[in-house]
Amino acid sequence: MALDEARVDALDEALDEAWELAPQVALRDEAFGALAYHFTTRRLTFLKSRDLVDVVRLLGGSTTLREALDAAGVDAGSWDAYARAVLALADGDMVRRREVAA
Amino acid sequence: MTVAAERPMRLVEHFEHGLDAPICLTWELTYACNLACVHCLSSSGRRDPRELTTGQAERVIDELQAMQVFYVNIGGGEPTIRPDFWHLLDYAVAHNVGVKFSTNGARITPERARQLAVTDYVDVQVSLDGATAEINDRVRGAGSYATALRALDNLAAAGFENAKVSVVLTRENADQLDDFKALAESRGATLRLTRLRPSGRGADVWDDLHPTMQQQRIVYEWLLAHGESVLTGDSFFHLAGFGESLPGLNLCGAGRVVCLIDPVGDVYACPFAIHDTFLAGNVLTDGGFARVWRESSLFADLRAPQSSGACTQCAHYDGCRGGCMAAKFFTGLPLDGPDPECVQGYSEARLAADRTIPAASQDHSKSGSSHAPVFVPLGVGPAAPPARSCSEHPLEGFHPHVDHQGVARG
């Protein structure tokens, strides 16, 4: 279906993009993962897995989301799920796309 | 480490076991208050001479920063009465501890409003308990309605965005919900509605002021209809017994994800539980706030599995989880039974029977003050005077997206 294909494209695109934690966001580790707090919007989000926290922390130093996932040791079979999570975090401005110097 | 994964804990279970630091907390900076609201949670009025010094308060903020407590709800008393209030506010913000403070508005002058409008990470909450002066001033005191509206006008004129109008729901204002919302929105503010607790002086007026069952139903429908455009600080999770859960964290966070620091540095399990029974320790004498949070035996008990007695047999238990611990305690009901405002009516028999209201551990009321309001229920006597809402739920302002970012482990 066209809609599903569009979703897959969006995930692929997200995997190939460069991301970073938004500068106004702080992470606090907890047993379940982490709290992410955005000081400007005052939104609190719960990152519900340690692996996701690792990936988010690695975003800024990676050229793509794929690279961050690989560095975090995330199994390639679940990369789409992580791409969805990163897009959801981007909706709340918790993470943002990063311009990469050519 | 074993490879076989156990069933992962749900987030709510993590919360019930307590976090490494509170998500946010309430800090009553002073018991001093220019008002004497009849339902004040902290029985405020007179300043406690043992109040934390500026330096001691700064050390608490340092600890909150180190623990990554991102947000603190400051109240009182009237916190702006402290001469160092504006300094502490700047100090907190400079140390990555955002501030929301509650005020009756008396000191929100045009100049202060302009200052607040250019300060990041500060949120202002003006207390108002009636959409008309008549209803408000009976609880909060003569002139307090005009004071609150002047503060909101000053904030709006200064360009302060999205102040909060903080209303404690009572029997007398429960039919003013639309008026409150319009009043807030006309000033670019957001309505915040919280539950009347029988704590502090609230114990004296709760029987007369808590909403009727019929009003609870109306408020429930109204909150469902307005969703997240009205803030509630997760105050009304006991209403989940009507059917649907309201937005927010539907659990008691006392000592698990929230707590309260009082003006002398005592740490209590929640903002509605200033009583020796819920005293966990003191930031000065027990080795600092972090140590109290992590090592207090009271908090350890609250983080252990709780017995909810007969409530666990109820079809609505997953929604309300037995309701509010403080509300039960201060109405003399057992903590392992239903909330005094159980919408299924399971507490009615107990409320009607003999019960012992716990004696207050402390009272900062200005005794004998001619200005103090004496509450007389409507229709029984002449319009009576004032009160101040010191209410502040620590989770207010957060919009937890509990179910969105859970990535299944691959």
Using an 8 Å Cβ cutoff, are B352 and B366 in contact?
Answer: no
In degrees rounded to 5, what are phi and psi of residue B125? -125, 115
Q: What length does chain A have?
A: 102
- The residues with which B279 forms a beta bridge, in sequence order, are B268
Q: Is A15 on the interface with B (CB under 8 A)?
A: no
pLDDT at B368: 61
Q: CA-CA distance, B105 to B107, in Å (whole number)?
A: 5
Non-local (6+) Cβ contacts of B245 within 8 A are B237, B319
Non-local (6+) Cβ contacts of B269 within 8 A are B254, B255, B259, B260, B278, B280, B298, B299, B302, B325
- Which site among A40, A43, A48, A75 would you substitute to test the B interface, given the most B Cβ atoms closer than 10 Å to its Cβ? A48
Contact between A42 and B71 using a beta-carbon 8 Å cutoff: yes
The residue whose two tokens read 């943002």 is A96
Q: CA-CA distance, B195 to B205, in Å (whole number)?
A: 14
ipTM confidence score: 0.86
> Which residues of chain B make contact with A75, given a CB cutoff of 8 A?
410
pLDDT at B8: 64
Q: CA-CA distance, B71 to B74, in Å (whole number)?
A: 10
Banded model confidence at residue B350, pLDDT cuts 50, 70, 90: very high
**pLDDT tens digit sequence for B169-204:** 999 999 999 999 999 999 999 999 999 999 999 999
* Nearest CA-CA partner of B232 in B344, B112, B393: B393
Q: CA-CA distance, B349 to B338, in Å (whole number)?
A: 11
> Which residues of chain A make contact with B92, given a CB cutoff of 8 A?
none
CA A59, B15, A58: angle at the middle one, nearest 5?
10
Closest chain A CA to residue B8:
A32
The residue whose two tokens read 């929105």 is B185
Contact between B405 and A47 using a beta-carbon 8 Å cutoff: yes
E-only strand ranges, B369-408:
none
Using an 8 Å Cβ cutoff, are A72 and A55 in contact?
Answer: yes
Q: Is B95 on the interface with A (CB under 8 A)?
A: no
- Through-space distance between the first and last CA atoms of chain B, rounded to whole angstroms: 17
**pLDDT tens digit sequence for B195-236:** 999 999 999 999 999 999 999 999 999 999 998 899 998 889
Task: Name the 3-class secondary structure at B42.
Answer: coil
Using an 8 Å Cβ cutoff, are B358 and B384 in contact?
Answer: no
Q: Is A97 on the interface with B (CB under 8 A)?
A: no
Q: Is B268 on the interface with A (CB under 8 A)?
A: no
Q: Output the six-digit token pair for B280.
A: 């966990």
What is the DSSP code (8-state) at residue B14?
A: H
Contact between A45 and B400 using a beta-carbon 8 Å cutoff: yes
What is the nearest CA distance from A102 to chain B, expressed in angstroms?
32
Of A46, A85, A92, the CB nearest to B11: A46
Q: Output the six-digit token pair for A75.
A: 């199994």
Contact between A32 and B14 using a beta-carbon 8 Å cutoff: yes
Using an 8 Å Cβ cutoff, are A97 and A19 in contact?
Answer: yes
What is the nearest CA distance from B79 to chain A, expressed in angstroms?
22
Q: Output the six-digit token pair for A22.
A: 């938004």
Q: CA-CA distance, B297 to B92, in Å (whole number)?
A: 28
* Nearest CA-CA partner of B224 in B235, B210, B240: B240
Q: Does the structure show a pLDDT above 90 at B99? A: yes
Q: CA-CA distance, B199 to A83, in Å (whole number)?
A: 47
- Through-space distance between the first and last CA atoms of chain A, rounded to whole angstroms: 36
Sign of CA dihedral B307, B309, B313, B318: negative
**pLDDT tens digit sequence for B279-325:** 999 999 999 999 999 999 999 999 998 877 889 899 999 888 899 99
Q: Is B407 on the interface with A (CB under 8 A)?
A: yes
- Residue-by-residue pLDDT tens, chain A, 102 positions: 566 777 778 999 999 999 999 999 999 999 999 999 998 888 889 999 999 999 999 999 999 999 999 999 999 999 999 999 999 999 999 999 998 765
In degrees rounded to 5, what are phi and psi of residue A87? -65, -40
Give the global pTM: 0.88
> Which residues of chain A make contact with B407, given a CB cutoff of 8 A?
48-49, 51-52, 78, 81-82, 84-85
What is the nearest CA distance from B370 to chain A, expressed in angstroms?
42
Using an 8 Å Cβ cutoff, are B42 and B274 in contact?
Answer: yes
